[in-house]
A = this chain, B = another copy of it.
Amino acid sequence: MPQLRLALAQVDARVGDIAGNIDLVVAQCHAAAQAGAHLVAFPEMVLTGYPIEDMAYRRSFIEASQRGVRDLTQRLLDEGLGDLVVVAGHLDSAKAATLAELPDRLGVPKNEPTNSASVITGGRVVARYDKHHLPNYGVFDEFRHFVPGDETQVVQVGGIDVALAICEDIWQDGPSAAADAAEAGLLIVINGSPYEAAKDDTRLELCARRAREGDCALAYVNLVGGQDELVFDGDSLVVDAAGEIVARAAQFEPELLVVDLDLPAATAPMPDPSTRFHGLRVERTVVSSEPFEPREPLRPEVAERWDDAGERYQALVLGLRDYVAKNGFRSVLLGMSGGIDSTLVAAIAVDALGPDRVFGVSNPSAWSTDHSRSDAAEQARRTGLTLTTVPIAPIFDSYQEALHLDGLAEENLQARIRAVIWMGLSNQHGHLVLACGNKSELATGYSTIYGDAVGGYAPIKDLPKTLVWELSRWRNAWAEQRGETPPIPEGVITKAPSAELRPGQLDTDSLPPYEVLDAVLDAYVERDLGTAEVIAEGFEPDLVEKVVTLVDRAEYKRRQYPPGPKISRRNFGRDRRVPITNAWRESL
């Protein structure tokens, strides 16, 4: 059987940085050529970054992406990489034939951007595939942005037929059937598939199934890196036609995965070009029909997986690191209360950026306990981050002389004074402020808007409180495994959570125990069950009604909360879009 040395370039592309992304692609092509690869595949929209959202509508940006494809093609040739076959994703504009078939809408210009993949070799684009299935659920809005393509591409390389697909195309029926019909030996799927817990297992299953359906090997290459709410976890992989795993790249790290595949020679006559498979016509291009010189096969690499907690933790670290870097910050600042949330965020920040770029501020009030202050100081000592203390009592008094607030208004005042201090230091020194709220807090509105909720990025906003503890324990255990000092003082993990805004206050004064709360939130928020269904799972009706009401009433706060990395199946943000003004209350 002919042999193909395939490289999958799991890279961290940057949204909007077309020139930088081209440099990245060219550098990886050099590395792939050095490794003897015949074909190198890059992720979905690698030239523009992903997702570009409404940037898709901007003609100047579409044209820049089209120029980018031409520039890349020329550079590959100029730099002696003309023999390499390169598959790269980019923004493009629909072909005239596709546009002609679109329905007219009065007063609205036809949407024409496409989510495309070009096959580049020998100084030419030899084939272009436009994404066929456009996801428009969860975090995706591709029906808003793109026109679907209606053909699939089969490119013969070294005597092997290689079919193409983009991300969602394999989540729905179609392209694998087309690959099967074309008797392709390999289906290359380029992806911008964001992380969520346990998605690696789903992906592997999916790839195996589509490989079997298409009766061909399948290579899956994914982005890595953070982009606003999304973290791309990489996890690029190759399965054979039986669905067995052949190679797999690391999670959360850039990698060039190189693998040797023995694939059936292209022999099949092509199907009648007018036939459609699940709406797709098959187009064929021959790049090279002679098999490549056989080589000693490389030892296939199957990278180790992180466990469930480690996977989530690494996603949070990568999300923060990329948000900071890609937005041009050098350092972060966070309020360190001595509570578990800010302690975990500080640990993540130190792992993402190093201790020199992490600045903690302790703002003790009259109700702050001694252990809170000492725990923050202890963490600073263990990790090397810089901790400053600014007491809030004199400022609190100056407000109260004018306002005489009490109750909740007085509690919130303390949180807001702290926020003004953090923002002042941020403005003065250029730090990005981190908000330390967790998902349970965000769900129930147990936070002060313009107080502890301020920040440019919120690293643990998609992490329920019970997972905050779990990941803290995991992080300490990981340190111990490696013979390092655990970054999180043990007492912070074991003490009862408190906002410390009044004497003796505990979270459980206002909220159910977190084990129960998080289970109810999982049912109501992540699984979208109604009140009756949640109760049917065995929770107290009063408690369920209380939690549901808290969640419904806190939507206005969530809208103004900073973005943070999605790690669950349904995050607050792109995944869950509900009205603020909403009279719906489920009665029992």
Min distance, Cβ A152 to any Cβ of chain B, angstroms: 16
| Interface pair A450/B577, CB less than 8 Å apart | no
Q: A104-B172, A581-B323 are in contact. Are A416 and B412 (CB under 8 A)?
A: no
CB within 8 Å of B: which A217-249 residues: 226-228
| Interface pair B583/A563, CB less than 8 Å apart | no
Spell out A's residues near B (CB within 8 Å).
14-18, 20, 49, 51-55, 57-61, 63-64, 103-108, 111, 136-137, 141, 143-144, 171-173, 202, 206, 209, 226-228, 322-323, 326-327, 390-391, 394-395, 397-399, 401-403, 405-409, 412-413, 416-417, 419-421, 423-425, 427-428, 449-450, 454, 456, 528-533, 556, 559-563, 576-586
Contacting residues, chain B, for A327 (C-beta < 8 A): 556, 580-581
| Interface pair B57/A173, CB less than 8 Å apart | no
| Interface pair A427/B399, CB less than 8 Å apart | no
Contacting residues, chain B, for A577 (C-beta < 8 A): 53-54, 141
**Alpha-carbon separation in the docked complex, A452 to B327 (Å):** 24
| Interface pair B583/A15, CB less than 8 Å apart | yes
Min distance, Cβ A520 to any Cβ of chain B, angstroms: 15
| Interface pair A227/B394, CB less than 8 Å apart | no
Partner of A106, one of B171, B450, B533: B171
Contacting residues, chain B, for A61 (C-beta < 8 A): 530, 584
| Interface pair B424/A409, CB less than 8 Å apart | yes
| Interface pair B454/A427, CB less than 8 Å apart | no
Q: Please, could you name 30 A-B residue pairs with CB atoms under 8 Å apart, sorted by A?
A: A15-B584, A16-B584, A17-B584, A20-B583, A51-B579, A54-B578, A58-B528, A59-B528, A59-B529, A60-B532, A60-B533, A60-B586, A103-B173, A106-B171, A136-B143, A141-B577, A143-B144, A322-B581, A323-B581, A327-B556, A390-B402, A395-B399, A405-B424, A405-B427, A412-B427, A416-B420, A416-B423, A417-B420, A419-B450, A563-B580
Contacting residues, chain B, for A528 (C-beta < 8 A): 57-59
| Interface pair B579/A228, CB less than 8 Å apart | yes
Contacting residues, chain B, for A141 (C-beta < 8 A): 136, 141, 144, 577
**Alpha-carbon separation in the docked complex, A107 to B585 (Å):** 29
Contacting residues, chain B, for A322 (C-beta < 8 A): 581
Partner of A581, one of B15, B18, B425: B15
Partner of A172, one of B18, B105, B419: B105
| Interface pair A530/B137, CB less than 8 Å apart | no
Write the chain B residue with the least CB distance to A400. B424
| Interface pair A580/B420, CB less than 8 Å apart | no
Contacting residues, chain B, for A456 (C-beta < 8 A): 556
Contacting residues, chain B, for A173 (C-beta < 8 A): 103-104
| Interface pair B14/A583, CB less than 8 Å apart | yes
Min distance, Cβ A488 to any Cβ of chain B, angstroms: 28
Partner of A421, one of B402, B406, B423: B402
| Interface pair B530/A58, CB less than 8 Å apart | yes
**Alpha-carbon separation in the docked complex, A549 to B531 (Å):** 47
